[in-house]
Amino acid sequence: MPFCIHCGSQEPEGMAFCGSCGQSMTTLSTTTNSHNPLQQSMVTQTRNDPLAETVASAPAPLPIEESPAATHFSKDGRVTTRVPRPTAQGKKPLPLKTIMPHLPACIRLPGRWGLVLALIVLMGGGGIWATWYLLAPSAYDQFVMKNGIQFGFDAQHSGFNPYETELSPTTVALLVQAWTATTNRAISSSPAVANGVIYAGTSDGKLYAFKADGCDQSTCPPLWTAATDGSISSSPAVLNGVAYVNSAYVHPNDGKLYAFRADGCGQVTCSPLWSARTGRTNSSPVVDNGVIYVSSGDNKLYAFKANSCGQPICSPLWTATASKASFSSPAVANGVIYVSSGDSKLYAFKANGCGQVTCSPLWTAATADAIASPPVVAKGVVYVSSGDGQVQTANSQRGDSQSGKSLGSLLSGSHYQAYSKLYAFKADGCGQVTCSPLWTTTISGVILASPAVANGVVYVDAGDDKLYAFKADGCGQPTCSPLWTAATDLTFSSPTVANGVVYVASGKGKLYALKANGCDQTVCSPLWTATTGSAIGSSPVVANGMVYVGTNSGMLYAFHRK
């Protein structure tokens, strides 16, 4: 259908006068400018570009032959659309304001992409160049928008970020310090990065929010803070615009779960949306399928509605009881929640409860000693670590009369040499009330942090100054040996794996990056190291080409590629 050259209205064929403005109609040329080599080159390039088909559903009312196809996606995320300006026969080209309403208002892309479109119009050569710069969220950001972020990256605590693209074994050596931030007390839990903000809790009971990409200064102030009534030694969880964090009091039966607006409150200090009473806990909250789970020092597992109860203080949906306290974060996978406990047991419960106020486990599994680390679930296997119930003193052999020391006693000094075990159990149980492991391994150090699992390998930090790598599906034997090890310094935090690199932090203030698939040797050297000002108790976090870690001195460090 032709266009009115006066108002730009599109009218039916054969109309002598425009139905919108009443002016005389004139037929418009629908041919391209064959003398414009840029236009012909663009059309040729686009016809050979399969990505151009993604804009087939974009509005294109102009009757121009090449208009629907003349859109090109470049590797830097730029979309360029060639829209020749219609001209009246023997007349000047139509004014720009006539054409603008007919340009595509957006480009439809698959998935839940939020787009910010900046339209730059350049005139010349008998046509219009319209360029959209697509500021689409990264793959990491898209995952967080849909699933949230929490300790260990996901509800399974895998410790694996599969969406990292900037940092790799070939580029990680280019990492340099980007910025730092100072808090009042120790950051002993992993930060969380969501929607351009990094959240960190401190031992003085504050939650801090900083811009994840810094502030154009070497030292950055917080966007906002929030106070709790206790000490925060758990990692925040962020989902659907809410940041959750646990706070522990001195009393073993006192603790709280807090929910804050993730984008702040427009003030320097924010108050919670709601809170819930739990026992004293160091457990990082876990969010899955609209429910938030917390394990606690009062021997209980708590389940709350993630979107609150409509009141300032909420009650749990249900609870479950173990025979001893659990201070580590639960893990959720395939409708089952796994909880490790100080009674040397792993518990498995139905994640949606049991229809009662208090629930019983689906099954349990026994370990040789108390389980201090959170469970990790990957590909149908749940991994936990514990002491192995045996120690060696300076004047004795391992397994003599000193055997049976608790894990806590092993940390009291250098009088004991501790040994730990890593266990692998079937995640769906064994058809019995009590299950045995698929395989185990013994390590000469204290494992206080959860392992990380990525691409068929389990990575474990131990207190013997080593990182261990094992085959995730075992070795075909009841007891397995590591694929390789790497020397570190007194590591008590969980490893993080991203894009072929495994990151570990040490109690002596060092960050290490190692090749995740090893080095073809039994002992591997790091690809990159960095030194902080004090001991590191938190696990490193990798997001969008940056590495973050908190220290016991209250410093938050951010590293990026040089």
- Burial class of residue 47 (count of CB atoms within 10 Å of its CB; 0-12, 13-18, 19+): exposed
Please state, in angstroms and as integers, the Cα–Cα distance from residue 383 to each residue in 55, 77, 149, 335, 448, following that order.
46, 40, 21, 17, 13
Degrees (nearest 5) of the Cα angle 307, 312, 317?
Answer: 50
How far is the C-alpha of 412 from the C-alpha of 433, rounded, in Å? 35
Q: Could you tell me which of 299, 324, 252, 310 has the C-alpha nearest to residue 276?
A: 310
Three-class DSSP category at 409: helix
Reported as type and span, the H/E element at residue 98 is helix 96-99
Our measurement of the distance from residue 171's CA atom to the centroid of its chain's CA atoms, rounded to an integer in Å, reads 21
Degrees (nearest 5) of the Cα angle 294, 300, 306?
Answer: 30
How far is the C-alpha of 530 from the C-alpha of 22, rounded, in Å? 74
What 8-state DSSP symbol labels residue 143? H
* Residues 457 and 379 sit within 8 Å (Cβ to Cβ): no
Q: Could you tell me which of 503, 502, 511, 414 has the C-alpha nearest to residue 464?
A: 414
Degrees (nearest 5) of the Cα angle 492, 493, 499?
Answer: 140
How far is the C-alpha of 545 from the C-alpha of 164, rounded, in Å? 7
For residue 383, which amino acid is it?
A: Y
Q: Are strands 358-359 and 318-321 parallel, antiparallel or unpaired?
A: parallel
How far is the C-alpha of 259 from the C-alpha of 273, rounded, in Å? 6
pLDDT at 67: 37
Q: How many CB atoms lie within 10 A of CB 38?
A: 13
How far is the C-alpha of 246 from the C-alpha of 284, rounded, in Å? 7
Structure tokens at 37: 């080599």
Encode burial over 450-486: b for 16+ CB neighbours within 10 A, e otherwise: bbbbbeebbbbbbbbbbbbbbebbbeeeeebebbbbb
Phi-psi region of 111 (alpha: psi -120 to 50; beta: other; left: phi over 0): left
pLDDT along the chain (562 residues), means of 10: 64 66 53 40 39 39 39 45 45 42 37 43 47 71 95 97 97 97 92 97 94 95 94 93 87 78 96 91 90 89 92 95 79 96 92 93 92 92 82 48 41 57 96 96 85 97 89 96 91 91 93 96 96 91 97 96 88
Q: Could you tell me which of 270, 216, 264 has the C-alpha nearest to residue 242?
A: 264
pLDDT at 489: 82
Three-class DSSP category at 51: helix
